[in-house]
Amino acid sequence: MSGPARSAWAPLRVPTFRALWIAMLVSNSGTWMQTVGAQWLLVSIPGADILVALVQTATTLPVLLLALPAGRSPISSTAAT
């Protein structure tokens, strides 16, 4: 490990990365609010406990299923050789 120590905040000095990071933060906050709102609404319905679980599953499942193939990059496998 050579060179000067870098701060964890160093990438935020790049304007494009900072804009993308802020946009993702706002987007994720909106997603979280929508999920909480949907679950809160469903809790008021009698016997809707399974619907709350389905909302959470519908929110989480695409991330789980798409994160696995997205993590496999041909660039990373050729760079290791």
| Torsion angle in degrees (nearest 10) through CA of 14, 15, 18, 23 | -150
pTM as predicted: 0.58
Mean pLDDT of all residues in the chain?
82
The residues near 30 (Cβ < 8 Å, ≥ 6 apart) are none
Q: Taking residues 26-46, what's their average pLDDT?
A: 88
| Length in residues, the chain | 81
Alpha helical stretches, state H, the chain: 15-43, 49-71, 74-79
User: How confident is the model at residue 67, as a pLDDT?
Assistant: 82
